[in-house]
């Protein structure tokens, strides 16, 4: 799942949506039991991206601690193989 600059991220409870489309639930605790806060609702600014893994256990943009990814942090492109 990804969110591009200009997309709107909303959070209802712990349900995260991009442009109104549900993209997943932010867990309450990390694997080591640390509390996790969901990302704050926002419009993704230029040169930032929302990235989310396919596993519900992924530590990704759903959480304030990891947050959005700056364009400078992107080092490659993933191409799924089916």
pTM of the model: 0.86
Band the pLDDT of 79: cuts 50, 70, 90.
confident
- pLDDT per residue as tens digits for the range 18-77: 999 999 999 999 888 999 999 999 999 999 999 998 888 889 999 999 999 999 999 987
- What token pair was written down for 49? 């991206």
The three-point CA angle 58-40-32 to 5° equals 35
What was the pLDDT predicted at 81?
87
What was the pLDDT predicted at 10?
96
Provide the 8-state DSSP code for 36: -
- Cβ atoms 9, 42 nearer than 8 A: yes
Residue boundaries of the structural domains of the chain: 2-73
């Amino acid at each position: 799942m990804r969110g591009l600059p200009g997309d709107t991220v909303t959070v209802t409870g712990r349900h995260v949506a991009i442009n109104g489309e549900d993209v997943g639930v932010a867990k309450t605790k990390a694997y080591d039991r640390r509390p996790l806060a969901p990302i704050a609702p926002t419009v993704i600014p230029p040169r930032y991206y929302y990235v989310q893994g396919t596993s519900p256990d992924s530590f990704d943009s759903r959480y304030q601690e990891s947050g959005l990814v700056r364009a400078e942090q992107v080092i490659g492109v993933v191409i799924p193989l089916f």
